[in-house]
Structure 1
Amino acid sequence: MSGDEVARLAFYGLLLVVIGGAMLVELSGRGGRALRQLFLWGVVIAGLALGYDWWQGANAPRQQVLEGGARIEIPAGPGGHFHLEALLNGTPVDFIVDTGATTVALSRSDAEAIGLDLGRLRFSGQAVTANGRVGTAPVTIADFALGDALDRNVPAVVIDSELQDSLLGMSYLRRFARVSFEGDLLVLER
């Protein structure tokens, strides 16, 4: 379960406790029947909210790799960002495609997930982000697979901040012959 999913689950649990508590205070003194109805409605509402949340995540747009990896189509997500999944050292990593980022920028958690030892990194560089200056540590990703296309020894940085999503920046996007937009699709072609 990802950090976002845990946070969502905690939010819904807290919401259920607050609403349930308010209902208990309102219905106190009316006996066990009211309490059973309250509990039933709480379960129904929580189930619907969790089901909707799961459905949104399961139906989120994902990239399509076409022509043996020569063309990758990435639909815009609900927030207008383009998200794609790549295999880094055999581990799936979600990226936001960011044409404003100079390089591939990994979150600390993604860097750790692909086998990089965070304790051995030297955060000697700096990057300017929307949240100000942050430290960066240069790394090399041994295997970077996007569909059937495999790139080896891809330079990247690990961001020394609370970056939630890793960023696929221009240093990787330049590997494509064409990067274009077709409506709500980002198209990468080799």
Structure 2
Amino acid sequence: MDGFDIGRLGYLILLLGLVGGWLFVEYRGRLGAALRPIVAWGLIILAVAAGYGVWTDMGPSLSPRQQMSGDAVELPRAPDGHYYLTLSVDGTNLRFLVDTGASGIVLSADDARRIGFDPGALSYLGVASTANGEVRTARVVLDRVDLGTITDRDVPAFVNEGELGTSLLGMSYLNRFHLEIAGDRMILRR
């Protein structure tokens, strides 16, 4: 626990003490009458927390997914307003944020590790300008990138040395397709 977590824990304990003290004073002599609303509110809070947990776990699987038909792939807009594309990179499925503002494919350290690169052993000689400032990058080559029946070999990419939650699919790959946005769908055709 760091100092921030200890402060939050202290605040919660203080808040619980104040509410508990108020309940004790308010219902002194009739604690049985206080037990019913306390249990009811406890169950309501537990149900909301459980519902949030289930939604967090299942929400992404309930949203529409990419659909492949022939040489075209249709991507639905995600609830966060972005488009995501799952590619098989060297035999491993990776989820990419489609980023027309990125010039190349940028892998997070976690995704790079999943497909066999050791981020700690790479030479971070490049620099990329991002919305969060400059980050160092290492150039790599992806042996095989599959999108359904479409296969590309020896695809250049970069591994980001900084924090990156989702790998980015930039224009060096997207330029291989005709890109169209219609309503809440992105369509890529080769």
Which interval holds the TM-score relative to the shorter structure?
Answer: 0.7 to 0.9
Q: 1:125 to 1:44 in 2, by over 3 A?
A: same
Letter in 2 for 1:173: L
Quote the RMSD (CA, aligned, Å): 2.5
How far did residue 60 of structure 1 move? 2.1
How far did residue 72 of structure 1 move? 0.5
Unmatched tracts of structure 2, length 5 or more: 1-8
Q: How does 1:23-172 map to 2 (within 5 A)?
A: 25=20, 27-28=23-24, 30=31, 33-34=35-36, 36-67=39-70, 70-172=71-173
How far did residue 58 of structure 1 move? 1.9
**Could you say what secondary structure the match of 1:136 adopts?**
strand
Unmatched tracts of structure 1, length 5 or more: 1-13
TM-score after normalising by structure 1: 0.79
TM-score after normalising by structure 2: 0.79
**Could you say what secondary structure the match of 2:163 adopts?**
coil
Max Rg structure? 2
Q: 1:155 to 1:75 in 2, by over 3 A?
A: same
**Could you say what secondary structure the match of 2:158 adopts?**
strand
Letter in 1 for 2:48: I
Q: Deviations over 1:94-139 (max 9, x none)?
A: 1111111111000111111111111220000011100111101000
Could you tell me how far apart the structure 2 residues matched to 1:114 and 1:54 are? 24
How far did residue 24 of structure 1 move? 6.4
Count the aligned residue pairs. Answer: 171
- Do the aligned partners of 1:101 and 1:168 also contact (CA within 8 Å) in 2? yes
Letter in 2 for 1:154: V
